[in-house]
Amino acid sequence: MHLLDWFLTRLETDRQRDVIRRVTAKNIPALFDFNEAVTYRWELISEELANNYEIFQVRYARQSSTTERYQDAQLRLNSLAEPLLRLWLNRPEISEEQLAWQKAIDLYAADSAEQRKVFHQRRIDIPGLTPNQVVQGLVAVGNHLQQGFSLRELSARCFLGNSKVLDRRYDLLAQLYGADAEAIKARPLLLNVWAPVAFDRVLIVENQDSFLRLYERPPTSCALLYSGGFRAGAQRLLSEHTCFSFLPGSDHGYFKQNWPPTQAHFWGDLDYAGMSILRALRNSIPTLTAWRPGYAPMLSSLLEGAGHTPEQAKKEEQTDPLNTGCDFADAEILPALRMTGRFIDQEGFLINEGQG
């Protein structure tokens, strides 16, 4: 079995060359242990495997009278026997991609048994990068962990200047590096804010154009926060790492004293993505509601026949969040989206000064 396993492994390693095993005491020691039945063992190889099953061909070398006939013989694998070998050894065929991944592990992750275990359990495919570049980059991360870098900074240093490769891959780094991965600096969530003196509520706006329009003509007693559609960052909204960039005319101190707000609203696109953002934000601000002055005119327009289909705006992958926890959104907005099958973006609506 060891001999057959060797042939199959060598075949997987390099399919461009013939697979040949020379019969020597080093390569096949069982044939040179003369306290055992070496003649019977050679008959199994030369008669059963070579002649009957045609696993390989035997080419004998010139022999002296003092050596065994099989000394230095060549066993040349018959590539057509691969399916039979796989059946006998219970080794399913490995794809070219998996072979490339295994070679990359052997080349760049040879020094750490724990890392090799993680890599073998989890093949990582990253568009545009070869398996060698992926494994080499992930191993290189370890050289920078104690330098206080963020995931984006590590990614740019280890993956050809691409800062986004490690996005959403912290768990993988934690598997590879254990507690050392905790040294990775959390990336701050940067939010743009306009906060007037003595505001009593906060309006979170999904899109930049609408945020800036409201900044020009703000609702009464309302602070504005531009979310940038950060559904992925919603859980970090109240994090100590969150940073605020204030627009001119803002009362920085008053905003920070009253953050998080007790009264808050959200206004974004009239689509499933917008409702998903609302739902995610409510995990951080449970009192958050859909902003009726913004959504009401959009909803009326939708019910009158306006709007675009998901296909027309490349929104086919948006999924219904089912519920948001906001009464207005769950009772009126989501049912209208399901009934019409259409969406409307918020940039098409200008809310009058003083509304809200």
Please state the domain extents for the chain.
Answer: 2-89, 96-183, 190-348
Token pair belonging to 249: 């005319």
Q: What is the pLDDT of residues 180-190, one digit of tens each?
A: 999 998 877 88
Sheet containing 56-59: give its strands across: 20-22, 74-77, 56-59
Cα–Cα dist 239/233, whole Å: 10
Give the per-residue pLDDT at 16. 72
Give the per-residue pLDDT at 354. 45
Give the per-residue pLDDT at 277. 92
pTM of the model: 0.61
Amino acid symbol at 107? L
Cα–Cα dist 259/257, whole Å: 6
Cα–Cα dist 151/158, whole Å: 10
Cα–Cα dist 45/30, whole Å: 12
* DSSP-H helix ranges across 202-356: 208-216, 252-257, 272-281, 292-303, 327-328, 334-340
Give the per-residue pLDDT at 352. 62
Could you read off the pLDDT tens digit of each residue along the chain, which spans 356 residues?
689 989 888 887 776 788 999 999 999 999 998 888 899 999 999 999 999 999 999 999 887 666 788 888 999 999 899 889 989 988 887 777 888 888 899 888 877 888 888 888 888 888 889 999 999 999 999 999 999 999 999 999 999 999 999 998 999 999 999 999 999 988 778 889 999 999 999 999 999 999 999 999 999 999 999 987 665 456 677 877 788 999 999 999 999 999 999 999 999 999 999 999 999 899 889 999 999 999 999 999 999 999 999 999 999 999 999 999 999 999 999 999 999 999 999 999 988 644 44
Q: What is the pLDDT of residues 208-258, one digit of tens each?
A: 999 999 999 999 999 999 987 665 456 677 877 788 999 999 999 999 999
Give the per-residue pLDDT at 356. 47
